[in-house]
Chains A and B, each alone.
Chain A
Amino acid sequence: MTETIDQIFVILKHWLVGHVPTAVEPIVSELLSVVPIILLFPLLFALITVMERKGLGRIQNRYGPNRVGPCGILQPIADGIKTLTKENIVPHSADKVVHLLAPLLLVMATFLGYAVLPVGRNMVAANMDAGVLFFFAVGSMTELSVFMAGWSSRNKYSLLGAMRAIAQMISYEVPLILSSVTVIMAAGTLSTVSIVEQQSGYTGIFPHWFVFTPWGFAGFVLFMIAATAESNRSPFDLPEGESELIAGYYTEYSGFKFALFFLAEYLGMMSISGMAITLFLGGWAAPLSFLTWIPSYLWFFGKLFFFIAGFIWIRGTLPRLRMDQLMNFAWKFMLPMALINLVTAGVWRFMPTGILRWLVCSAMVVAPYVLLGRGFMLGKRLEKRTYRFAD
């Protein structure tokens, strides 16, 4: 029974595919995998926008939206209608084609990433051998579309925003990928499905998630910091820093195209959270061995929910970084930590199991953190700022 509920969508799909002629079977099968993704995640995006607005409101001791529908839950519908009915303005001197393509490409690229995310047992759109590689490859397509948006708008703010976005995304992609390489090393595979399967065992009641190892924990934290930067979320939201750049690379977008940028941002946030869950938090695996009766997809979406809540919490807490702080952080802290973490993962792999392995590897994570952190804080002087040209 539990098995059936867990596999209900897989069974349903097989049953549906069984009813069509053999010739179109592969196409129907693919469609049945893709359409739910395309429907479900935008729906989640709508829910997340309300959640975010209400959560941020509560953090600031406000109510947040509470007028449309019960408790404001229908707010995204109102927002959707509003953006759909807005005028679509394209600047006179803009490169019209590129201007139109940029948001489409962005949304497409973020959607492609979902192809390799296992959202439940046997529930993945494309089980690729190089799944992780594919994910990061299409993930970096977003940079192209961001730059397309910034360049084609013919607006200095858009261009500045796009340049910031490129600089930030490329800088943070390095620690992002390096921190996930540790998992690939440990799992010995690039396939997301087998990475999750390797974490689905239990010792006693505790799962074999990679986050419960010293290198896994460090890798997870690094991955999440880099993921925040990749998805342009606060405190790394310089590309769209509205106080200085209006809206960054999508300044010149209005109406539905603007909504597409928003959709892409949230989809990116969800897909990269999904990747973090897959790599470090055991994907769809239950956190305790006696909870396995709860369907696997519920675990995946439950974990996703926690990630989103974390993103919102971070956004409500931290102020935006400065460009030099951002770059220093990426290259002087994240990158060395990620490299040291690679070595730690290697040491972990080749040391015999036991308490000694834990001690050595923990020391290898904590010591560089403390030292690098101290070095990083050294240059930071909290004093009255003097302006050279002030008088």
Chain B
Amino acid sequence: MLGEGIVRGLAETARNFLGSFVSKERLTTVQFPEERLPQAEAARDFPFLVYDGEDWQAGMRCVACQICEKECPPKCIFIEKSKDKKPDALGRAQFYPARFDIDVSVCMSCQICVEVCPFEAIKMDTAFELSTDDRFGGLLWDRQKLALSDAHYHAIHPTDAAHTDELLAAEKAKAEARTKAAVAKASPAPMPQPPAPAAANEP
């Protein structure tokens, strides 16, 4: 009969209405700032620069090779290479970024910078509550803001970080073996300059 469907529909909505007051499972909304769902391990949004040890300037892995700057599709990385050199994690003297800016308002979180970096120096962070009242300056992050410790990297992406550590350890071992070989070949001569990092990274 006419109107039957309407009555049935009304009953259905009434059941939903009342049900939402008695059963918590019906209300699937997560009340965000108070309640949070755990983030997926692979979550990512903006890049950060990894440093080892305590001091962010001394431990910074980045050697200002500018590969990421060139690869970044929207061109949101700006790097200024240092004039002098500082020792890196392996004790070799390396350049370091005198300036390293990422404009996060332009960054599209593609992770390409992470993929191309040969030094495992740049990784993706998971912090997402980044709103600021300064539209330009507040979203242009300099190297100090970008620098985050290796411990932080381990905390947010444990699997990835373990893998990175393995790679770095393997590289270190390779570098040490090469140094040893070089020392063995020309023992009286002083320790030669270590090979170019890009070359060292080649498998």
**A residues lining the B interface (CB < 8 Å):** 55, 58-63, 313-314, 316-318, 333, 369-370, 372-374, 376-377
Contacts and interface: CB of A to CB of B under 8 A. Distances in A.
Given A59-B16, A61-B16, A313-B10, 14 more contacts: A58-B16, A58-B21, A61-B27, A62-B20, A62-B29, A63-B27, A63-B29, A63-B31, A313-B13, A316-B17, A317-B6, A317-B13, A318-B6, A373-B3
Nearest to B19: A61
Contacts of A374: 1-2
B73 interface: no
A377 B28 CA distance: 38
Given A318-B6, A377-B2, A61 B26 contact: yes
B12 interface: yes
Interface string B7-33: 001101110110111000011110100
Give the interface SS of chain B, mostly helix, strand, loop or mixed: helix
A55 B17 CA distance: 7
A259 B95 CA distance: 61
Contact of A58 (B6, B10, B17): B17
A370 B128 CA distance: 60
B9 A317 contact: yes
Contact of A370 (B1, B21, B26, B31): B1
B27 A313 contact: no
A348 B15 CA distance: 38
Nearest to B7: A317
25 contacts: A55-B17, A58-B21, A59-B16, A59-B20, A60-B16, A61-B16, A61-B19, A61-B26, A61-B27, A61-B28, A63-B29, A63-B31, A313-B10, A313-B14, A313-B17, A316-B17, A317-B6, A317-B9, A317-B10, A317-B13, A318-B9, A369-B2, A373-B2, A373-B3, A377-B2
A27 B16 CA distance: 51
Nearest to A316: B13
Contacts of A333: 2
A248 B192 CA distance: 79
Contacts of B31: 63
A318 B17 CA distance: 15
Give the interface SS of chain A, mostly helix, strand, loop or mixed: helix
Contacts of B27: 61-63
B117 to A, nearest CB: 42
Contacts of B28: 61
Contacts of B9: 317-318
A314 B7 CA distance: 10
B17 A376 contact: no
A183 B13 CA distance: 32
Nearest to A60: B16
Nearest to A329: B2
Contact of A59 (B2, B3, B6, B13): B13
B28 to A, nearest CB: 7
Contacts of B20: 58-59, 61-62
A271 B20 CA distance: 31
A59 B1 contact: no
Nearest to A221: B3
A59 B17 contact: yes
Which of A59, A370, A376 lies at the interface centre, i.e. has the most chain B CB atoms within 10 A of its CB?
A59
A357 B6 CA distance: 30
B2 to A, nearest CB: 3
A372 B2 CA distance: 9
B2 A376 contact: yes
B1 A373 contact: yes
A370 B4 CA distance: 12
A212 B26 CA distance: 38
A60 B19 CA distance: 10
B17 to A, nearest CB: 5
Contact of B12 (A317, A369, A372): A317
Nearest to B15: A59
Contacts of B14: 313
Contacts of B13: 59, 313, 316-317
A317 B3 CA distance: 13
Nearest to A61: B26
